[in-house]
Copies of this chain bind each other. A is one copy, B any other.
Amino acid sequence: MTFDDKLNKIRLIAGKMMSCSAHDCDHVDRVYNLCLMLAKGQKVDLQVLEIAALLHDIGREAEHNDKTGKIDHAKVGAQMAEKILKDLGVDDEKIECVKECILSHRFRGKILPKSLEAKILFDADKLDTLGAIGIARSYVWVGKNNAKIYTDRDLNSYVNENIEGGVFGRIKDKTKHSPQIEFDLKFGKIKEKLFTKKAKKIATQRTKFYSDFLKRLEKEIKGKL
């Protein structure tokens, strides 16, 4: 079996394993494309990167269905990936590299990416939360969770009341959350957390686009536009 054959099999397996609302699969496609774009001209193991991009979120469903709040999709995903790749006869060394990428791709995770492949996957995944695509995904989240399109309240009091365990903690009541709160807490700071120069540049303009959108939204809602 050639590498391309294996990659196609992985793509199919990933598609089936993800809870697969259309967005999740589309997110994986976008992250995969962003990874290739960020990797251009860099010395990376493209095979590792491509596999990791396709499999990076396969642990999502387990995390989503977990009532204890203890399952981390990055950890579970890395274990799931190991099994899939062993069954396909992928080299142990490559499997370890893929696992490192998946384990360290979480924004809120404690394991930081070390290899360039892991850094690129981390960055690509975060870029998909910014810009027009980030805005679209945020409001999809609002729709799914019956959250708020807009909230006009003090961030500190909101965090005290509705976030458990500090700024990146658990949201107690999603119906009180909004993209603008999420932007202030997380999205607006993502660009500082990225690793690669190219991703930082893209993130800077995507962050500005998101921020400008929120400012306009507020003006419209307040009857100024």
Residues in chain A within 8 A of chain B (CB atoms)? 21-23, 26, 30, 33-34, 37, 131-133, 135-150, 175, 179, 202, 205-206, 209, 213, 216-217, 220-221, 223, 225
Contact = CB atoms under 8 A, between A and B. Distances in A.
B213 A225 contact: no
A23 B221 CA distance: 13
A202 B221 CA distance: 13
B22 A133 contact: no
A131 B216 contact: yes
B37 A133 contact: no
A134 to B, nearest CB: 9
A218 B113 CA distance: 30
Looking at A21, A138, A140, which has the most chain B CB atoms within 10 Å of its CB? A140
Contacts of A216: 131-132, 209
Looking at A133, A179, A205, which has the most chain B CB atoms within 10 Å of its CB? A133
B30 A221 contact: yes
A26 B132 contact: no
A28 B144 CA distance: 21
A20 to B, nearest CB: 10
A26 B150 contact: yes
Contact of A175 (B22, B26, B209, B213): B22
A33 B143 contact: no
Nearest to A131: B220
Given A22-B147, A22-B148, A140-B142, 14 more contacts: A21-B146, A23-B148, A37-B223, A131-B216, A131-B225, A135-B136, A136-B217, A137-B139, A142-B143, A144-B144, A202-B225, A205-B225, A206-B220, A206-B225
